[in-house]
Structure 1
Amino acid sequence: MCCWENQNQVVVWIWIGIGLFFLTTLFITLLVINYLKSIKKNKQKVSTMFRDVKKEYGEHMLSLQEQDRERLAEELHDNIISQLNIIRLTINEKKPEELNVDLKRSMQLIRELSHNLTPPDLNEIDLADLIADYLVPINKNIEVIFHHLTIEIAISNPVKLNIFRIIQELITNILKHAEATRVDVSLRISLNYLMLTIEDNGRGFIIGNHSGGIGLRNVHSRAQKIKAIYKLKTKPEKGTKFIACMAIQ
């Protein structure tokens, strides 16, 4: 009788073991299934995020291209076409020497426009020299003071290009609208940050009335691309000061 009870206990423990093994296997299987579902769900989220980012990037690039086209059309109409039209209307009244000067001025405008549209060779020049080279011909039209305090640190080409384009936009706005006689440009680069300051002594403006301009929209877009924060300080007849700062990673 005792032997029979012992056999029953062994059978019970065997079934208990089988049951525990089954439950453990079931539990692990459910965990694996849930884990695989989670991976699949995360992949779908990542794929959706990638499509959204790609779409947003494409829309952003199209917006920048459209803004560049508008700026090009504006530059052609306001500067080059207007200058050539003046030459056409006065061609019979001016001396050859005067016409030669007007044509040279138009050619200079075209060269400047071409320079603005063509990306510089960013691998062969550092940011301070790039800015200095751009400001040299500007000095013929307005007094430009360039201060720079930099260290030898690698600046990525996208950062160089966007900082350079921001400067171009702001200088163009100053020359066209500010009626300024002097511009101060300052560049500071340390181990941790890059700071750009552009200040003019022009007539200033009310920010709310100009916040939608093509130039300022381009400045905002390019600052966003390099994760730079910026501030524009201006008042009528008090000049304009632009300050941008970004972390160097």
Structure 2
Amino acid sequence: MEKWLDPKTIALWIVIVLLIISLLAFSFIRLVRINFRRIVVERLKESRTQIEHQKQLLETGIIAQEQERTRIAADLHDSLIGKLTVLRLKNQTAQNTEEIDSLLGESIAEARRISHDLTPPMPKFITLDELIENVLAPWKKQFTLTFRKSIYSEKNIPNDLKIQIVRVIQEIIINIHKHAEATNVFVHLRMSPTLLSITIKDNGKGFDVEKAKKGIGLKNIELRMLFIKGHHKIKTGNKGTTAILVLNHSKIESE
């Protein structure tokens, strides 16, 4: 009888094969467990990072609201009340009526701008493009502002969504006014059957995006875009800054 046909030899080979299979199975199970554990740890880390990021955004939202109140209070005190005080003094001293009328017109325009900042006019009764146009109108005194609209699909957008879009636009315009030293601003609203997008360009000096991410302005924009399930991108350089906001129509529920 050949040696390999010997029952003891066959039994030995069977044991060896079973040991190899067991070793491979053990190694495979161990590898799967290690990979599974690594995936779980990474997912937990990502979840903690997302939770921390959302917490920061919520804190940013609270701070931004307080800063907005402070800014509006300063506008009332420094701009509107200042103009009205000068107007009152000129009226008491019987100054030139044309100058008084001019100051009165400026005060009314300033009051209208602050009112628009607080609550955009009648969002329920006007379209999004009309609402944006009304909000942008007071800024035309600060720089050359062009508003273009390309509407290929009319859609009944909820009031809350209109307000959030307008707030984001206001935040960007205020940042341009404060920091960009821009003279021209271009706003383009596009509405297609599937997408709503807004592009805002200026010819200012640009800014450091990484440094700006630590500030309240960009975090406030991110918070609002997250709230309305939209996406945004900001590109900046020494020839100006471009902000792009995009929303998917499928995520917009009609009233």
> Where on the TM-score scale, by shorter chain, does this alignment land: which range?
0.5 to 0.7
In structure 2, list runs of 5 or more residues that go unmatched. 1-54, 251-255
Q: What's the counterpart of residue 123 of structure 2?
A: 122
Change (3 A) 1:114 1:193: same
Asked whether the equivalents of residues 60 and 220 of structure 2 are also in contact (C-alpha less than 8 Å), the reply is no
Q: What's the counterpart of residue 72 of structure 2?
A: 72
Q: What's the counterpart of residue 46 of structure 2?
A: none
Question: Shift of the alpha carbon at 1:98?
Answer: 5.1
Q: How does 1:10-21 map to 2 (within 5 A)?
A: none
Q: Which moved more, 1:59-68 or 1:237-246?
A: 59-68
Question: Shift of the alpha carbon at 1:79?
Answer: 4.7
Change (3 A) 1:79 1:247: same
SS at match of 2:174: helix
In structure 1, list runs of 5 or more residues that go unmatched. 1-54
Asked whether the equivalents of residues 67 and 218 of structure 1 are also in contact (C-alpha less than 8 Å), the reply is no
SS at match of 1:183: strand
Change (3 A) 1:148 1:67: same
SS at match of 1:227: coil
Q: What's the counterpart of residue 176 of structure 1?
A: 178
Asked whether the equivalents of residues 150 and 190 of structure 2 are also in contact (C-alpha less than 8 Å), the reply is yes
Q: What's the counterpart of residue 202 of structure 1?
A: 204
Question: Shift of the alpha carbon at 1:241?
Answer: 0.7
Change (3 A) 1:161 1:85: same
State yes or no: 1:218 paired with 2:220: yes
Asked whether the equivalents of residues 198 and 244 of structure 2 are also in contact (C-alpha less than 8 Å), the reply is yes
**Distance (whole Å) between structure 1 residues aligned to residue 66 and residue 104 of structure 2:** 30
| 1:146-167 per-position Cα deviation (integer Å, ceiling 9, x unaligned) | 1211211222222211111111
Instruction: Provide the TM-score with structure 1 as the length reference.
Output: 0.63
Question: Shift of the alpha carbon at 1:197?
Answer: 0.5
Q: Which amino acid aligns with 1:123?
A: K
**Distance (whole Å) between structure 1 residues aligned to residue 239 and residue 84 of structure 2:** 34
**Distance (whole Å) between structure 1 residues aligned to residue 73 and residue 149 of structure 2:** 33
Q: What's the counterpart of residue 231 of structure 1?
A: 233
Asked whether the equivalents of residues 67 and 214 of structure 1 are also in contact (C-alpha less than 8 Å), the reply is no
Q: What's the counterpart of residue 26 of structure 2?
A: none
Asked whether the equivalents of residues 133 and 147 of structure 2 are also in contact (C-alpha less than 8 Å), the reply is yes
SS at match of 2:141: coil
Instruction: Provide the TM-score with structure 2 as the length reference.
Output: 0.61
Report the number of matched residues: 194
| 1:195-244 per-position Cα deviation (integer Å, ceiling 9, x unaligned) | 11000111222223333444333322211110111111112x32111011
State yes or no: 1:160 paired with 2:155: no
Q: Which moved more, 1:205-214 or 1:159-168?
A: 205-214
**Distance (whole Å) between structure 2 residues aligned to residue 225 and residue 145 of structure 1:** 28
Q: Which amino acid aligns with 2:194?
A: N
Change (3 A) 1:220 1:79: farther
**Distance (whole Å) between structure 2 residues aligned to residue 87 and residue 177 of structure 1:** 31
Q: What's the counterpart of residue 113 of structure 1?
A: 114
**Distance (whole Å) between structure 1 residues aligned to residue 82 and residue 212 of structure 2:** 24
SS at match of 2:225: helix
**Distance (whole Å) between structure 2 residues aligned to residue 107 and residue 218 of structure 1:** 29
**Distance (whole Å) between structure 1 residues aligned to residue 211 and residue 107 of structure 2:** 31
**Distance (whole Å) between structure 2 residues aligned to residue 212 and residue 230 of structure 1:** 17
Change (3 A) 1:70 1:185: same
Asked whether the equivalents of residues 231 and 243 of structure 1 are also in contact (C-alpha less than 8 Å), the reply is yes
Q: What's the counterpart of residue 43 of structure 1?
A: none
Change (3 A) 1:139 1:72: closer
Question: Shift of the alpha carbon at 1:189?
Answer: 1.2
Question: Shift of the alpha carbon at 1:135?
Answer: 2.5
